[in-house]
Structure 1
């Protein structure tokens, strides 16, 4: 399958080997290894080469971190019916994918907008090139030191988001990203000429409990759900917009 071929390309190019240090960085401390995985925003992997490489990377990642493939759920409102049904047992709103002899299946649930709680289990969130609101919503859904310390996020660099946005915009529209910047560790995936558009600006993020506990109590007191009423460039598909995303 295309995902398996993409994995072979990632291995032969050396990109996966160069990325393994960043992938394992969150495990160098006391944090527990992820027991499950949620993937958002993969895109149309049935017809997009970049999405197929990202899927192949995810499959290699599950092997490296020993996350059982059956405990990985993929969700993107843009998935076609064929992509969503590729693995038997996948529910609407989820996609299954086979590659390198493993099955990835499950349901993250349609219309979540990234609002997914870890529910006490160490969880890897694979969110390459997702919109800022999706990361912000995920943080809000896990807004406590205990929950955030169980998150590993592979996605757009938080440092890059901070550098590109005016501070007032970051604090107004994406306040949970802004507030957690002093409590996050980040390691960038390496740059590779073959995958510049596929994994550019992608980092591994994790949240050491000791760093989170150093943040002021005021940081944790504000738990208002993000609404984005004044956001002019909202990069997220809202509930009820899934059908439009597939067209």
Structure 2
């Protein structure tokens, strides 16, 4: 297995980085952790259509089982009568209501807020050139792109990334965010934030930027499980540095990563998917006397 920089003297070319990341992705995908992780992603981030279909199937089965034999016979006779009647096709322009329904269905199918995730934003991965953990976290980001079949943009930012890191991720098809990378622009399409072991203030900032029912319906966060902050008594003393975490926790549905550990378990430990169900009303957030998170300065 290839190591991080310093483990050998091979020149850090883009080809070297490509081979390194191919190796990291292969190692990740061959682990028992990844098999369980892939199932979790499908269950957590790709369930809407499956759940709706399952619900419809259950209701249909219940309805059918409740029919008496006489009801069933009447339905069958009605169906046969309808089958014998001629079907008259109306020109589309003479049937606007049908056209409207067709257009609405197409729009619903194409609405990114009703389908799979489109974009992914990666924060806090670190320097791929220098850190083995960062390499595996980037491998996870690349794998998530494949699992979710993302059709939009995958972006990345970490202030410790080197110029080589930036060149490598761009070579891998990932956009490097400029400035401080912490955009205050709310998400416009379904977006996964991949934020392993980020500062608490950064999680709070992402939530604050998207603190509306419309935006929260469009995003999920894979990062430090928010329950850690609630369980840690010392967090209460610095909660003003991340005022949106506890309100976010109160409306979040959290799916912890698999119990099957990955290697030494310092790469993906204490992480979870955070989704924000549409039936949860947003709580008020107390911003009085808020403080800056020193980790973000």
- The interval holding the TM-score normalised by the smaller chain is 0.7 to 0.9
Aligned residue number for residue 235 of structure 1: 295
Q: Give the secondary-structure state (helix, strand or coil) at the position aligned to 1:66.
A: coil
| Offset at residue 119 of structure 1 (A) | 3.4
Spell out, residue by residue over 1:8-50, the C-alpha distance to the aligned partner (whole angstroms, 9 max, x if none).
1112122211112322213223764211111111101112111
Q: Give the secondary-structure state (helix, strand or coil) at the position aligned to 1:55.
A: helix
Higher-Rg member (1/2): 2
Is 35-44 or 10-19 further displaced after alignment?
10-19
Cα distance in structure 1, aligned partners of 2:221 and 2:237: 22
Which residue, out of 57, 67, 84, partners 2:140? 57
Aligned residue number for residue 202 of structure 1: 271
Spell out, residue by residue over 1:130-183, the C-alpha distance to the aligned partner (whole angstroms, 9 max, x if none).
110100011111111111111111110111121124463364332211112121
Cα distance in structure 2, aligned partners of 1:108 and 1:206: 24
Q: Give the secondary-structure state (helix, strand or coil) at the position aligned to 2:265.
A: helix
| TM-score, length basis structure 1 | 0.78
Aligned residue number for residue 74 of structure 1: 156
State the 4+ residue runs in structure 1 displaced beyond 6 angstroms. Answer: none
Contact conserved, 1:117 with 1:138, CA < 8 A, in 2?
no
Aligned residue number for residue 64 of structure 2: none
Aligned residue number for residue 27 of structure 1: 46
Contact conserved, 2:33 with 2:262, CA < 8 A, in 1?
no
Contact conserved, 2:240 with 2:290, CA < 8 A, in 1?
no
Contact conserved, 1:115 with 1:140, CA < 8 A, in 2?
no
Which residue, out of 10, 13, 19, partners 2:31? 13
Q: Give the secondary-structure state (helix, strand or coil) at the position aligned to 2:194.
A: strand
Aligned residue number for residue 177 of structure 2: 108
Gaps in structure 2 of 5+ consecutive residues: 1-18, 50-113
Contact conserved, 1:3 with 1:56, CA < 8 A, in 2?
yes
Gaps in structure 1 of 5+ consecutive residues: 87-94, 99-103, 239-247
| TM-score, length basis structure 2 | 0.65
| Offset at residue 107 of structure 1 (A) | 3.3
Q: Give the secondary-structure state (helix, strand or coil) at the position aligned to 2:46.
A: helix
Aligned residue number for residue 178 of structure 1: 246
Q: Give the secondary-structure state (helix, strand or coil) at the position aligned to 2:30.
A: helix
| Offset at residue 4 of structure 1 (A) | 1.3
Cα distance in structure 2, aligned partners of 1:83 and 1:193: 24
Higher normalized helix content (fraction of residues): 2
Spell out, residue by residue over 1:89-138, the C-alpha distance to the aligned partner (whole angstroms, 9 max, x if none).
xxxxxx4253xxxxx221323214x4443432111111101110100011
**Matched positions, count:** 213
Q: Give the secondary-structure state (helix, strand or coil) at the position aligned to 2:125.
A: coil
- Closer, same or farther: CA 10–188 of 1 in aligned 2, 3 Å: same
Aligned residue number for residue 147 of structure 1: 215
